[in-house]
Amino acid sequence: MQLFLHDVELPLLHPFTIARGSKTVQQALLVELISGTYHGFGEASVSKYYGMSISGMRAALEAVRPDVERYELAHPDLNDVGQLWERLDGRLGDCRFAQCALDEAAHDLWGKCLGQPLWKLWQLDPDRGPGSDYTIGIDTIERMIAKLREFPDWPAYKIKLGTAEDVAIVRALRGQTAAPLRVDANCGWTVEQALANAVELKKLGVELIEQPLPADDWTGARRLFEASPLPIFADESCVVLSDVERCVGHFHGINIKLQKCGGLTPARRMIQRARQLGLQVMVGCMNESTVGISAAAQLLPLLDFADLDGAALLARDIATGVRIERGRAVFPAEGGCGTRLLV
């Protein structure tokens, strides 16, 4: 097996703004694994918030190159890829975004070698998964309305908040669609703001609030959990498997992102643990291409909610694979995650 690394830039369709910053281009590192004629792909986004850079992720992957290139994935054992993840976890666990890209590529390659889509190897039914929402980044109210109109008829919309006009934004967008709305403050509210906003947002048909408080405010999270009229979902507060149990009594559900937790292998474990603990489950994404979205989409039958619009937010994609068309996933017949690069 051979390991190749590719730096890419993903131009965004619109400037993407959340409570802690704005961007027009997403830098990413692609991992490519080759075995014979088969190519597997995975993706890792640059993230200032999580301290992930191209150079840091490259260094982490180069350090494990000998172990990766000695490993044989083309084996008809459902645990085979997980064994590679376990073998390298001690050395990649501090760079989970790179760990994720490698794990995605390994799953993609494994399925392609076996000639089966990943969801089928996992004995899942892709038709049973929820539809994805479409995310509307912070902007003027007029521009946020225009963004919603640009992508009509999605099953739900996620609205980024953390401004002085949060309720007015949601009220204006509610006037444009009857679809379910979700809001994400990206750690931008206090407990008092979250409680006051939740009352008004419930009146506007919002179905959940994602990460309203700073990630480490567990005291505030418990207060909000006990008093909020809307379900509260953890994102930045739930990164890895050990965080899931802590979310009980603080959140009603969790948003799992493959890059945060280290890939498909730990994401499946987090889903299983959340179910055991009675938490609802969403899988989300970063600003990423169809490479990462195709991997995350394999988990759709296991979820309550999905936020897999990353590729739809791009001005130009770099791959084909699972397509999210008006919120519904269209799976290719190809094995693995079905990813093929366009560049």
CATH assignment of the domain containing 23: 3.30.390.10
Positive or negative, the Cα torsion across 72, 73, 79, 84? positive
- Mean pLDDT score, 91-101: 95
Question: Higher pLDDT residue, 41 or 75?
Answer: 41
Say whether both 110 and 161 belong to one domain.
no
Q: How many CA atoms lie within 13 A of 158 on its CB side?
A: 29
- Mean pLDDT score, 18-22: 87
CATH assignment of the domain containing 333: 3.20.20.120
Radius of gyration of the chain (CA): 19
Say whether both 213 and 335 belong to one domain.
yes
Query: Among 99, 116, 133, which residue terminates a domain?
Result: 116
Query: Among 82, 116, 150, which residue terminates a domain?
Result: 116
Say whether both 92 and 201 belong to one domain.
no
Say whether both 40 and 149 belong to one domain.
no
pLDDT exceeds cutoff 80 at 80? no
Q: How many CB atoms lie within 10 A of CB 314?
A: 19
Our separate counts of H helices and E strands in the chain read 13, 15
Say whether both 102 and 136 belong to one domain.
no
pLDDT exceeds cutoff 70 at 74? no
Say whether both 70 and 91 belong to one domain.
yes
Q: Mean pLDDT of all residues in the chain?
A: 95
Buried b (16+ CB within 10 A) or exposed e, 102-111: bbbbbbbbbb
Helix (H) or strand (E) holding 38: strand 38-45
Q: Domain count for the chain, please give it.
A: 2
CA distance 295 to 41: 9
Range of the domain at 252: 121-341
Which of 82, 89, 47, 101 is closest to 235 using CA atoms? 47
Say whether both 50 and 149 belong to one domain.
no
Contact status, residue 138 vs residue 163, Cβ threshold 8 Å: yes
- Mean pLDDT score, 146-169: 97
Q: How many CA atoms lie within 13 A of 253 on its CB side?
A: 19
CA distance 272 to 269: 5
Say whether both 155 and 76 belong to one domain.
no
Confidence of residue 93 (pLDDT cuts 50, 70, 90): confident
pLDDT exceeds cutoff 90 at 76? no
Of 78-92, 166-180, 203-217, the poorest mean pLDDT is in: 78-92
Say whether both 158 and 20 belong to one domain.
no
Query: DSSP letters along 294-343, please?
Result: HHHHTTGGG-SEE---GGGGBSS--EESSEEETTEEE--SSSBT--EE--
Say whether both 314 and 256 belong to one domain.
yes
Could you tell me the pTM of the whole model? 0.95
Query: Among 83, 116, 149, which residue terminates a domain?
Result: 116
Strands 328-330 and 323-325: antiparallel
Say whether both 126 and 108 belong to one domain.
no
Residues 6+ apart with CB under 8 A from 241: 261, 266, 269, 270, 273
pLDDT exceeds cutoff 80 at 73? no
CA distance 92 to 262: 9
Say whether both 231 and 254 belong to one domain.
yes
CA distance 10 to 49: 18
According to DSSP, the residues that pair with 328 across neighbouring strands are: 325
